[in-house]
Amino acid sequence: MVNTALNGDLPTLRKQIADAQRAGTLDKSEVRSLAQAIAGREVRSAEQQRAVARIHQVRSCAGSLKAVLRDRATHADDAGAEAKLALLDAGYDRDSGLVSEYSHAESGAWRAVAARMTTQLGHAGLRQSMLADGDERVRRAAIAASLEARDKRDVLPLLESTRVDPDPLSRGMAARAAGNIGGERVVLGLKDLWARADEATRVTIVEAWAMPAAFGSGGERQLLWVVETGEALPAVTAAGALVRAQRATADSGEALLTRV
């Protein structure tokens, strides 16, 4: 059936599945293999926009779909770039040469491929410039690279992205990347953004303060402050972080959670 899912026609596949169900031979492993095969077929054969959407859906299965994604990544279109990004995010085919190859590409999708690989010390300037790229795909990939690089030179650009990036997902990613670098400058910089941040951004600021590198640099104190304000979702998120840390402030977190 897996071969039919990859290469055959759908009516035949439906019949084979029905026959297997009646025979009681369709176990969970077979269902999982079929789902991956069907997803791989769609990634390989779909037109560009549909393929891009499908690749986003199967990112968590990149390891099982390596061959299909690698084949799709040989295409020069946006779907090819998304396939390459999915592989890079999963830890496959990571080549620093992608930075020089695609950093000035006309396609934002392929510039994002370059941005994702700007993780080395010598890439700091380019990575930071890509945090301000006009294409949100590039910005997100640069933030992901910064999260991995943990370069203190990225702190101010990441705080600026948290403040002004028009894309909510990018703002949240930037806050967490800053939290992963940690230090008092990050903790206080995020506090400065709090007053004008919307609720979703405040939640990501809380998540950033809860990251180990920030927690021990004043983040714990800020989490306690958020809990004491009792402000809806951010306070609940902060309370959960304090409880998980299992320190003296955990009591304050537990007290709020019991009232929710």
DSSP string, 81-149: HHHHHHHHHTT-S--THHHHHHTT-SSHHHHHHHHHT--SGGGHHHHHHHTT-SSHHHHHHHHHHHHHH
Q: What pLDDT is stored for residue 7 in this prediction?
A: 61
CB 137 within 8 A of CB 105: no
Angle at 91 between CA 140 and CA 56, to 5 degrees: 50
At 230 the pLDDT is 81
Q: What is the pLDDT of residue 133?
A: 98
pLDDT at 100: 97
Q: Could you tell me which residue, 82 or 26, shows the higher pLDDT?
A: 82
Q: Which two three-digit tokens encode residue 63? A: 């390891």
Of 47-51, 89-93, 135-139, least confident by mean pLDDT is: 47-51
Q: Is 83 exposed, middle or buried (0-12, 13-18, 19+ CB in 10 A)?
A: buried
More confident site: 241 or 1: 241
Lowest-pLDDT range of 68-72, 76-80, 229-233: 229-233
Instruction: Give the Cα separation of 227 and 131 in Å (integer).
Output: 31
CB atoms inside a 10 Å sphere around CB 86: 23
Model-level pTM? 0.86
Residues 172, 177, 178: CA angle, nearest 5 degrees:
100
- pLDDT confidence band for 95 (50 / 70 / 90): very high
- 6: confidence class by pLDDT, cuts 50, 70, 90: low
What CA–CA distance (Å, rounded) separates 141 from 111?
Answer: 9
Check whether 5 has a pLDDT greater than 60: no
Report whether pLDDT(151) > 70: yes
Residue 47 in tokens:
């037109």
More confident residue, 144 or 6: 144
Per-residue pLDDT at 57: 85
Check residue 7 and report its DSSP letter.
H
Mean per-residue pLDDT for 185-211?
97
Residue 33 confidence (pLDDT) above 90: no
pLDDT score of 44: 73
Task: Give 130 or 256, the one with higher predicted confidence.
Answer: 130
How sure is the predictor about 18, in pLDDT bands with cuts at 50, 70 and 90? confident
Grade residue 48 by pLDDT with cuts at 50, 70 and 90. confident
Q: Is the pLDDT of residue 2 over 60?
A: no
